[in-house]
Amino acid sequence: MGFGTVGAGTFNVLQRNREEIERRAGREIRVTMVSRRQTGLARAVVGDAAEVVADARAIIANPAIDIVVELIGGTAIARDLVLEAIAAGKHVVTANKALLAVHGTEIFAAAHERGVMVAFEAAVAGGIPIIKALREGLTANRIEWIAGIINGTTNFILSEMRAKGLDFDVVLKEAQRLGYAEADPTFDIEGVDAAHKATIMSAIAFGTPVQFDKAYVEGITTLSAVDIRYAEQLGYRIKLLGITKRRQDGIELRVHPTLIPTKRLIANVEGAMNAVVVHGDAVGSTLHYGKGAGAEPTASAVIADLVDITRLHTADPDHRVPHLAFQPGAMQATRILPMSEVVTSFYLRLQVADQTGVLARITGILAEGGISIDAVLQRESAEGESQTDLIILTHDTVEGRMNDALAQMQALPTVLAPIVRIRKEELS
DSSP state string for 406-424 = HHHHHTSTTB-SPPEEEEE
Domains 5-128+295-330 and 339-424 share a fold: no
In this prediction, what percent of the chain has a pLDDT beyond 70? 100
**pLDDT single digits (tens) 3-21:** 999 999 999 999 999 999 9
- Return the DSSP state at 65: -
* The pLDDT of residue 318: 81
User: What would the pLDDT profile of 226-238 be if each residue is shown by its tens digit?
Assistant: 999 999 999 999 9
Query: Which pLDDT does position 60 carry in this prediction?
Result: 97
- Tell the burial category of 225 from Cβ atoms under 10 Å away from its Cβ (0-12, 13-18, 19+): middle
The helix (H) or strand (E) run that includes residue 258 is strand 250-261
State the CB neighbour count (10 A cutoff) for residue 32.
12
Which of 273, 268, 286, 247 is CA-nearest to residue 147? 286
CATH class entry, domain 5-128+295-330: alpha beta
Q: How far apart are CA 379 and CA 5, in angstroms?
A: 48
The predicted structure's pLDDT at residue 84: 98
Q: What is the largest distance, in Å, between two alpha-carbon atoms of the chain?
A: 80
Fold that domain 339-424 belongs to in CATH: Alpha-Beta Plaits (3.30.70)
- Find the catalytic residue in 90, 97, 197, 239: 197
Q: What is the pLDDT of residue 192?
A: 97
Identify whether the C-beta of residue 100 lies closer than 8 Å to the C-beta of residue 193: no
Which residues of the chain fall below pLDDT 50? none
Amino acid 325: pLDDT:
87
For 112, 124, 278, 352, 389, the CA distances from 386, given in Å and listed in that order, are 66, 49, 46, 9, 11
CATH 3.40.50.150 for domain 130-291? no
Strand partners for 422: 347
Q: For position 96, what pLDDT does the model report?
A: 96
Note the pLDDT tens digit of each residue in 52-88: 999 999 999 999 999 999 999 999 899 999 999 999 9
pLDDT at 385: 75
pTM over cut 0.85: yes
**What pLDDT, in 10s, does the model give residues 166-183?**
999 999 999 999 888 999
Every domain of the chain and the residues it spans: 5-128+295-330, 130-291, 339-424
**d(C-alpha 366, C-alpha 176), whole Å:** 41
**What pLDDT does 428 receive?**
87
Question: Is 239 an annotated catalytic residue?
Answer: no
Contact between 411 and 352 under an 8 Å Cβ cutoff? The reply is no
Q: What is d(CA 2, CA 7) in angstroms, rounded to the nearest whole number?
A: 7
Q: C-alpha distances in angstroms, 62 versus 68, 70, 80, 90, 312?
A: 10, 15, 17, 10, 21
Q: Where do the H-state alpha helices sit in 1-55?
A: 5-16, 18-25, 39-46
